[in-house]
Amino acid sequence: MEHGIVVGGSMAGLLCARALADHCGRVTIVERDSFPATVENRRGVPQGRHTHGLLASGRDVLERFFPGIAQELIAAGAVEGDLTRDSRWFMQGACLAKFTSGLNGLLMSRPFLETAVRRRVLALPNVQARENTTVEGLAASADNARVTGIKIGGETLTADLVVDTTGRGSHSPQWLEGMGYGKPAEERVEVALAYTTRWFRRRPEHLDGDIAAVTPPTPEGKRGGVMLAQEGGRWTLTLIGHFGQAAPLDLEGFIEYARTLPAPFIYEVIRNAEPIGDAMSARFQASVRRRYEKLQRFPEGYLVFGDAISSFNPIYGQGMSVAALEAVQLDETLGQGSHDLAKRFFARASKVVDIPWSVAVGNDLRMKETVGPRNAGANIINWYMSKLQKAAHHDPVPALAFHRVGNLLAPPPSVMHPRVVWRVLLGNLRPRSNAAAEERSVQAAAGH
């Protein structure tokens, strides 16, 4: 293709542009905001001020598209660590087993990561950006069978392919309807989430050197927290509450809220830590999935990507990694030609979304207040997952199975592998106490 246009210049748009760059003579990123010259929060990314995570799968994709970027980020200050050995995951009353898993994560702020990726993308000779430009609509052929470009400021910018990466506020359903196409069916799960984020100075003794602490909300308390080490010797801490359990903005109230979490270690860090800046709050009403793969008719020359397809409860940290995995699918789909592109890409993207959607929605539906479709097997699955997490307190086999799914490296049914089920049964029948056997299990799990 001669020209590809990416609408939106955040992480999803940048990753999409990187995939297109190998298949288009030139790629134009159209962004309504302006890109900052340095690492700073951008007006068009209000969520950028809150805690973000790059899962192991997302890191792998970044390295594939941008060789050497992981070491570049680490050299600039990103914090590297094994996501099981160097982190505390508190579930079902205790922390999951800590062991070397090979699931290597990178911890850094969203602006820090986005700036590095944007620098790499815009350095490509066939990629350019048009900043401070608002897309007013799509241009199409006379019969609306093909999108031929975008309308901006009274002019039309033509392209062989236009990709919408504008996120949850995407206008694609309305634009498609205006062209005579149906809107995609939507799945919606109401979680009524409120979250507040603060930054603190990080000291070496905090968490005994661990780089992350995760305490998910429970159906009983509906409060949780995620604290991650960041560049610049800082912690970012987001306190989470469902259904009216919002954390306050003032420092004293924020610290008191942390004291009420199911595990004490986040509170123990921040009660005497030096705060940095003011608190920020946000709300997230519902996870939404748009089923583009089920549409019978769709125009040629147009795709939807990233959060514009599916936006997840942000506490699971999946968004950037899902966009990265979708970029891989876009690259591979384009490698097979541009014919019937939308149908083939949406089918692939749907499989990418299936895993994080199942993880997020399945966990959220444990709360009776959550509004969303429930099936007869949900209670059985949630019961099994609670038993798996209990067994994972001491056994790395179920712990690794859990983390591989959480990092989008394995499908949810993998936690039902007979080897995992057996260890879950053993772990709930009797505690494991043999240190030598435990060490062999650790090594086996790490190599599995």
What integer pLDDT is reported at residue 37 of this predicted model?
84
Tokens coding 271: 């009660």
180: confidence class by pLDDT, cuts 50, 70, 90: very high
Same domain? For 160 and 51 the reply is yes
Residue 362 has pLDDT above 80, yes or no: yes
| Residue 85 is assigned to a structural domain of this protein | no
Same domain? For 246 and 113 the reply is no
| Residue 86 is assigned to a structural domain of this protein | no
Same domain? For 42 and 118 the reply is yes
274: confidence class by pLDDT, cuts 50, 70, 90: very high
Instruction: Provide the residue type at 212 as one letter.
Output: A
Same domain? For 68 and 40 the reply is yes
| Residue 68 is assigned to a structural domain of this protein | yes
Please check whether residue 190 is in contact with residue 285, taking contact to mean a CB–CB distance below 8 angstroms: yes
Same domain? For 206 and 250 the reply is yes
Same domain? For 240 and 282 the reply is yes
Residue 153: how many CB atoms within 10 A of its CB?
Answer: 9
Closest CA to 111 of 31, 175, 158, 50: 50
Tell me, what CATH number does 171's domain have?
3.50.50.60
Choose one of 255, 286, 317: the last residue of a domain. 286
Same domain? For 303 and 228 the reply is no
Q: Secondary structure of the chain: what % helix, strand, coil (to 5)?
A: 40, 25, 35
What integer pLDDT is reported at residue 376 of this predicted model?
72
Choose one of 224, 254, 286: the last residue of a domain. 286
User: How does pLDDT run across 401-436, given as a tens digit for each residue?
Assistant: 999 999 999 999 999 999 999 999 999 996 554 434
Structural domain boundaries, residue 240: 190-286
| Residue 394 is assigned to a structural domain of this protein | yes
Same domain? For 256 and 316 the reply is no
Please check whether residue 120 is in contact with residue 107, taking contact to mean a CB–CB distance below 8 angstroms: no
* Residue 156 to residue 150: CA distance in whole angstroms: 6
What integer pLDDT is reported at residue 436 of this predicted model?
41
Please check whether residue 263 is in contact with residue 215, taking contact to mean a CB–CB distance below 8 angstroms: yes
**Range of lowest pLDDT (45-49, 93-97, 320-324):** 45-49
| Residue 194 is assigned to a structural domain of this protein | yes
Tell me, what CATH number does 196's domain have?
3.30.9.30
261: confidence class by pLDDT, cuts 50, 70, 90: very high
Same domain? For 274 and 295 the reply is no
Closest CA to 316 of 409, 445, 214, 440: 214
Structural domain total, the chain: 3
What integer pLDDT is reported at residue 410 of this predicted model?
95
Same domain? For 56 and 137 the reply is yes
Instruction: Please compute the mean of the pLDDT values over residues 304-309 and round it to a whole number.
Output: 97
Residue 269 has pLDDT above 90, yes or no: yes
The residues, any chain, with a CB within 8 Å of residue 443's CB and separated by 6 or more, are none
Same domain? For 66 and 176 the reply is yes
What integer pLDDT is reported at residue 431 of this predicted model?
56
| Residue 95 is assigned to a structural domain of this protein | no
Residue 222 has pLDDT above 70, yes or no: yes
Same domain? For 48 and 138 the reply is yes
User: How does pLDDT run across 200-218, given as a tens digit for each residue?
Assistant: 999 999 999 999 999 999 9
Beta strands at 234-242 and 275-291: parallel, antiparallel or unpaired: unpaired
| Residue 96 is assigned to a structural domain of this protein | no
What rounded mean pLDDT belongs to the chain? Answer: 93
| Residue 338 is assigned to a structural domain of this protein | yes
